[in-house]
């Protein structure tokens, strides 16, 4: 358990009100090299992401978007620079898995559902790391799937679901432990436009209802314009950072 | 759903692979059960046979083969005078092919010797004298040979008659064809040969006296060794060889099982690296992943062990029912041997899972999730 990070979970909605200017993430001079510096995926990135903001990250292939998400999610360590979540250094977290389990929900382009588990079971997987009793886990998973419109697909295996349905299961799964942050890497990249719109509507709705911090990586400008803010990256740098006018009135 | 569900889902994912792995371990464990059970049975039946014959000390040479090595009948006269010896009885014991049965214990006993005394007639009678061309059959031997009282029986070239069926109160005794020593010597054309001297001690002989008697016998008769019947055959060469063989063969079988499970679990870990990355991204601890791999391989071991124990017991039963084994030795498969075998299998599972589990803990979560 990470008491440092677990600020009064039931009051997620109050968080922004308590301290309206607080940042979820803050990066200064963030660098990430691969292969002993042969590849520089991130070169001195500065970034601030306030709590509860919907932010899109765009940029050409290979510019470092996925790398950035992985650093935010503590799946990898930066080569240099500082990166903090609510003021706590992410690379120095004593238990990154607890941080991921409690604060972070991941949504991937290719869904990454576990093929041998039903929709209902996939959603419960993250809850196995918590002390929740199994009946409660199942109830919660059922409710989450209901909230993404899949109450009639509970016992389907991923192979029997459409792409849009799979991504909705994945979104339900990312919400399993009621995280404060969603990190979505091209969540609509493998979907047709109708399904893409549906998934975006869903993510937007969840973000607004729960006042979650949503960091969404995309190639697609139309997708990016759903966000309140768009950061454009090229070659490991953030080259532009603009408000879209979304979300500010809400 | 719980953690256990995740463990079992991992196992049924590759059914064929899991089945083949289980088969591998279970054959190894079956070998342990069968070989150890048979070798322990051998020891136990010999010891029980000695006790049933009323023997306290056995003088024989078991170094070379399954039956004791023959020596001259005069050996008996060299030891009979030793202190504490109440009676002796010379025997010639051999595994022979009798009629359609490939191997059966044939036991020629000194006429009038004490080893005849414990045979209880079930039907018929004992031979009238040492020269009568007659045998008695242990009850199992009668069964195996399909003989009843009055039937003729051919041993080597001699035509004999079954005059009685006896209960000898021990597996080896019941599995034997029993006849007088001179008759068997005549049949085998070995007038002066015996290979076992059963010794009965005077009542109340102390352990120390028994020990020193054995030492004296061993000095007087270098061609044979004295073994105290109450200590089972553990010290004898033959039982040591059989024991070592059965354990080393078992060990080999178990080693094959370890390699099989390790291979399977390594393949599972490599194949599921992307899934492991997903689990880590979803907040699973590395320790959990390690536990998952170890539990999977432990369950493989457990299931393989249970199946193996069944195969082993069935195999030994089947073997014990074949005419060539039946009556020779009684497999000794106790619940403890079965429990130990299953425990070995679980250990095999856990040990084989260690390296794959370590590999699983080295997975870098970011790698599989790029793109
Ligand atoms: N594990 C790795 N080892 C070596 N190089 C890597 C590794 N991961 C990423 N890279 C390199 O780092 C750079 C940034 O990769 P990243 O996956 O972050 O790009 P991206 O912006 O997400 O691209 P895309 O839009 O195609 O997903 C690329 O040049 C990539 O080849
Ligand atoms: Mg990417």
What string of pLDDT tens digits covers the 371 residues of chain B? 899 999 999 999 889 999 999 999 999 999 989 888 888 887 777 777 777 888 889 898 876 667 788 999 999 999 989 999 999 999 999 989 899 888 899 999 999 999 998 899 999 999 999 999 999 999 999 998 999 999 999 999 899 999 999 998 888 888 899 999 999 999 998 888 999 999 999 988 888 898 899 999 999 998 888 888 766 455 556 667 777 888 788 888 888 888 989 999 999 999 999 999 999 999 999 999 999 999 999 999 999 999 999 999 998 888 877 766 666 667 788 899 899 999 999 999 999 999 999 999 999 888 767 75
| Whether B103 contacts B176, CB under 8 Å | no
DSSP letter at A59 equals -
Tell me the chain A residues in contact with residue B9 when contact means C-beta distances shorter than 8 Å: 116-117
In chain A, what residues touch B10 (CB-CB under 8 Å)? 116
Q: How far, in Å, CA of B69 to CA of A24, rounded?
A: 88
How many CB pairs lie under 8 A apart between chains A and B? 81
Report d(CA B7, CA B357) in Å as an integer.
13
Which residues on neighbouring strands pair with residue B167, listed in sequence order? B120
Among candidates B135, B146, B91, B93, which has minimal Cα distance to B114? B91
DSSP A131-169: ---HHHHHHHHHHHHHHTT-TT-TT--GGGS-HHHHHHH
Residues making up chain B, counted from first to last: 371
Could you tell me where the DSSP H helices lie in A22-80? Answer: 65-72
Residue of minimum CA distance from atom 20 in ligand 1: A62
In sequence order, the 6+-apart residues with CB closer than 8 A to the CB of B68 are: B60, B61, B62, B93, B195, B196, B224
Q: Which two tokens stand for residue B333?
A: 């498969």
Q: Which two tokens stand for residue B293?
A: 């791999």
Residues B359 and B273: beta-carbon distance below 8 Å: no
pLDDT at site B328: 65
* ipTM of the modeled complex: 0.89
Would the pLDDT of A5 be above 80? no
A240-250 exposure pattern, b = at least 16 Cβ within 10 A, e = fewer: eeeeeebbeee
Q: What is the mean pLDDT of chain A?
A: 90
Domain ranges of chain B: 3-45+239-370, 62-223
Q: Which pair of tokens denotes residue A157?
A: 């295996």
Nearest CA in chain B to A61: B371
Q: What are the residue boundaries of the structural domains of chain A, listed by start?
A: 53-71+95-229+239-243
Chain A hits for B13, Cβ within 8 Å:
116
Write down the pLDDT at residue B291: 96
3-state secondary structure B104-158: EEEEEECCCCHHHCCCEEEEECCCCCCCCCEEEEEHHHHHHHCCCCCCEEEECCE
Q: Which of A38, A66, A183, A220 to mutate to test the pocket of ligand 1 (most atoms within 8 A of CB)?
A: A66
Report the pLDDT value the prediction gives residue B367, as an integer from 0 to 100. 76
The pLDDT value given to residue B297: 94
Q: Which of A101, A112, A119, A173 should one mutate to test binding to chain B, selecting the residue with the greatest count of B CBs within 10 A?
A: A112
A173 touches chain B (CB under 8 A): yes
Q: How far apart are the two ends of chain A, measured CA to CA in Å?
A: 34
- CB of A69 within 6 A of ligand 1: the answer is no
- Predicted pLDDT of residue B228: 83
Q: Is the CB–ligand 1 distance for residue A37 below 6 Å?
A: no
Q: Which of A60, A64, A97, A102 to mutate to test the interface with B (most CBs of B within 10 A)?
A: A97
Q: A129–B370: do the CB atoms touch at under 8 Å?
A: no
Is ligand 1 within 6 A of the CB of residue A31? no
Q: Which helix (H) or strand (E) holds A101?
A: helix A96-103
User: Which residues are near ligand 2, the ion (C-beta closer than 5 Å)?
Assistant: A 66
Counted residue by residue, chain A has a size of 250
* CA closest to A173 among chain B residues: B282
Looking at the domain that runs over A53-71+95-229+239-243, which CATH code has it been given?
3.40.50.300
Which of A23-27, A85-89, B365-369 has the least mean pLDDT? B365-369
DSSP state of B202: P
Which residues 347-366 of B have a C-beta within 8 angstroms of A?
A: 364-366
CA nearest to A127, candidates A153, A101, A108, A98: A101
Q: Which B-chain residues 271-330 have CB contacts (< 8 A) with chain A? A: 274-275, 278-286, 288
Distance of alpha carbon A235 from alpha carbon A237, whole angstroms: 6
Q: Does A134 touch chain B (CB under 8 A)?
A: yes
The answer to whether A95 contacts chain B (CB < 8 Å) is: yes
What does the block give as tokens for B50? Answer: 């000695």
Q: Give me the DSSP letters along B17-85.
A: HHHHHHHHHHHHHHHHHHHHHHHHHHHHHHHHHHHHTT-SEEEE--SSSSSPPPEETTHHHHHTTSTTE
Distance from the alpha carbon of residue B368 to the mean position of ligand 1, in angstroms: 11
pLDDT at A16: 45
Other C-beta atoms within 10 Å of B92: how many? 26
């Amino acid at each position: 358990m990470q008491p440092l990070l677990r600020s009064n979970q039931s009051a997620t909605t109050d968080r922004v009100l308590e301290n309206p200017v607080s940042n979820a993430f803050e990066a200064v001079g963030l660098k990430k090299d691969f292969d002993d510096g042969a590849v520089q995926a991130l070169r001195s990135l500065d970034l601030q992401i306030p709590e509860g903001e919907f932010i899109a990250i765009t940029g050409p292939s290979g510019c470092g978007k996925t790398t950035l998400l992985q650093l935010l999610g503590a799946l990898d360590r930066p080569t240099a620079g500082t990166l903090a979540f609510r003021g706590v250094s992410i690379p120095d977290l004593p238990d990154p898995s607890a941080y991921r389990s409690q604060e972070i929900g991941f949504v991937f382009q290719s869904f990454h559902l576990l093929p041998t588990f039903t929709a209902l079971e996939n959603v419960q997987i993250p809850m196995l790391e918590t002390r929740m009793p199994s009946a409660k886990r199942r109830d919660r998973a059922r409710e989450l799937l209901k909230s993404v419109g899949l109450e009639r697909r509970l016992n389907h295996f991923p192979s029997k679901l459409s792409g849009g349905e799979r991504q909705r299961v994945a979104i339900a799964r990312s919400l399993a432990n009621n995280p404060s942050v969603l990190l979505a890497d091209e969540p609509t990249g493998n979907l047709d436009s109708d399904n893409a719109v549906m998934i975006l509507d869903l993510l937007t709705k969840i973000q607004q209802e729960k006042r979650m911090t949503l960091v969404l990586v995309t190639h697609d400008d139309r997708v990016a314009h759903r966000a309140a803010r768009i950061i454009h990256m090229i070659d490991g740098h953030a080259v532009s950072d603009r408000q879209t006018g979304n979300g500010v009135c809400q | 759903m719980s953690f256990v569900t995740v463990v079992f889902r991992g196992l049924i994912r590759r059914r064929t692979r899991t089945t083949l792995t289980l088969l591998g371990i279970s054959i190894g464990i079956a070998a342990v059960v069968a070989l150890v059970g048979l070798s322990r049975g051998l020891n136990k039946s010999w010891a029980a046979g000695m006790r049933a014959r009323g023997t306290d000390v056995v003088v024989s040479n078991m170094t070379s083969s399954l039956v004791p090595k023959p020596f001259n009948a005069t050996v008996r006269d060299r030891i009979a005078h030793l202190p504490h010896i109440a009676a002796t009885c010379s025997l010639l014991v051999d595994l022979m092919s009798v009629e359609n049965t490939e191997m059966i214990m044939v036991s020629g006993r000194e006429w009038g010797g004490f080893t005849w005394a414990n045979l209880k007639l079930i039907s018929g009678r004992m031979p009238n004298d040492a020269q009568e061309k007659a045998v008695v059959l242990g009850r199992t031997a009668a069964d195996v040979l399909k003989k009843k009282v009055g039937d003729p029986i051919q041993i080597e070239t001699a035509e004999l008659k079954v005059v009685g069926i006896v209960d000898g109160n021990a597996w080896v005794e019941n599995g034997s064809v029993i006849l007088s020593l001179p008759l068997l010597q005549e049949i085998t054309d070995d007038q002066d040969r015996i290979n076992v001297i059963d010794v009965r001690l005077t009542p109340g002989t102390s352990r120390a006296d028994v020990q020193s008697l054995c030492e004296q016998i061993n000095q007087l008769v270098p061609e044979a060794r004295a073994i105290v019947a109450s200590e089972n055959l553990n010290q004898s060469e033959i039982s040591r060889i059989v024991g070592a063989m059965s354990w080393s063969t078992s060990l080999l079988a178990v080693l094959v099982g370890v390699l099989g499970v390790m291979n399977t679990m390594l393949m599972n870990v490599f194949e599921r690296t992307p899934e492991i990355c997903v689990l880590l991204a979803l907040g699973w601890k590395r320790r959990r992943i390690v536990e998952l791999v170890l539990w999977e391989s432990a369950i493989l071991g457990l299931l393989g062990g249970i199946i193996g124990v069944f195969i082993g017991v069935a195999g030994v039963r089947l073997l014990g029912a074949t005419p060539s084994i039946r009556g020779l030795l009684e497999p000794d498969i106790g619940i403890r041997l079965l429990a130990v075998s299953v425990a070995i299998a679980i250990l095999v599972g856990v040990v084989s899972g260690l390296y794959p589990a370590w590999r699983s803990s080295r997975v870098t979560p970011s790698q599989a999730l790029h793109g």
